Amino acid sequence: MSPNLKDIFVSFVYLEIRMKAKSTIRIKISSEEHLLSLLEALRPETKRPGKRSKVNIDRDGSFIILNVEAKDTVALRATLNTYLRWIGSTIDSLEVLTNR
């Protein structure tokens, strides 16, 4: 007895919901001031979850912890690239401002 189309669709949706890609990245920030500025700059972005990914940013001592959960690896890669570029750009800007 073969499954009907409805059974196949329900099974596919169930599997799709369960499949997720996750990543946790720890970045050491040497300056407490830079760490706080970075957290303040990125937190508003984490309040708006995307359609395919969700981001949480925390602090652990002198580390920023970036937790990304996505529907698939493509969304995970895109989200990681975005946040890592924002972090890099913000740190570069803070260093320029500090060395004035």
Q: Which tens digits make up the pLDDT trace of 7-30?
A: 444 444 444 555 488 999 999 988
Instruction: Give the pLDDT score at 95.
Output: 87
b (16+ CB within 10 A) / e for 80-89: beebeeebee
Instruction: Give the pLDDT score at 3.
Output: 44
Instruction: Give the pLDDT score at 2.
Output: 42
Q: What is 21-98's CATH number, 3.40.50.2030, 3.30.310.50, 3.10.129.10, 2.160.20.10?
A: 3.30.310.50
Backbone phi and psi for residue 81, each to the nearest 5 degrees, phi listed first: -60, -45
Q: What secondary structure letter does DSSP report for 68?
A: E
The pTM for the full model equals 0.77
Q: For the chain, where are the alpha helices, taking DSSP H only? A: 5-18, 32-46, 73-98
Q: Which tens digits make up the pLDDT trace of 47-87?
A: 987 889 999 999 999 899 999 999 999 999 999 999 999 99
